[in-house]
Amino acid sequence: MSSSDSLQLALGGLQVSVLIATFIYAISCFQAYLYWRSKFNDRLGVRILVCIGLFETIHTVCFWVYLYTITIQYYGVPEELEERHWSISMSLAFHGCITVSVQAYYSYRVYVLSGGHKVIPIMCWTGCLLEAFGSIAGAIAFYILGPVAFIAHVQFLPTFVIVLDLSVCAVNTTTLCYYLLKRKTGINRS
């Protein structure tokens, strides 16, 4: 694969991922709008969780700043892909905070639906805490080392964070499905 092919793949992947992230961000904004418009009576913790949309905004803006920097500001300078940029590091940190907040809330829902059994929620909260530290440490290491050295020397950290995220997500999803199925009201579908 030539240098120009790998550059096209890198920039193409970057553009597609930014567009997908923006689309998902738009859906999140619409959901938050519907929530705030619906005259909610939720507790303060749930309302604060909806405010995580501010983190989503920062996350998406950081992605767009990085895309602008690489494709417009440094157009025709492929070496710039190897340089560190604050925007991508901030995006990684905010992504970790968003994911941890959502999974911690689902773990709380498992705790409530299970009738106060603490074993599974504590395991998930521990995983969330480790994931938060891993995401922030990864963002700092990515900024300090730069993308090339980070990929060469710190591959275990992103893998660890992804495995933790998927594990907590799978446990939360499975446990929520179990408890929701167990509490099924018996209403027939038409």
Same domain, 103 and 21: no
* pLDDT tens string 115-161: 888 898 889 899 989 988 998 888 888 888 877 777 778 778 888 88
Q: Band of the pLDDT at 98, cuts 50, 70, 90?
A: confident
- Its sign, for the CA torsion 158, 161, 165, 166, is positive
Confidence check: pLDDT of 173 > 70: yes
Q: Mean pLDDT in the chain?
A: 81
Q: How many domains does the chain have?
A: 2
Same domain, 100 and 68: no
CA distance 19 to 13: 10
Helix axis angle for 156-182 and 86-113, nearest 10°, is 30
Same domain, 91 and 79: no
What's the pLDDT at 91?
A: 85
pTM beyond 0.85, yes or no: no
Q: Where are the alpha helices (DSSP H) in the chain?
A: 3-37, 44-50, 53-68, 86-113, 119-145, 147-153, 156-182
Domain boundary among 83, 107, 134: 83
Q: Higher-confidence residue: 190 or 48?
A: 48
Domain boundary among 34, 59, 83: 83
What's the domain range around 39?
1-83
Same domain, 174 and 126: yes
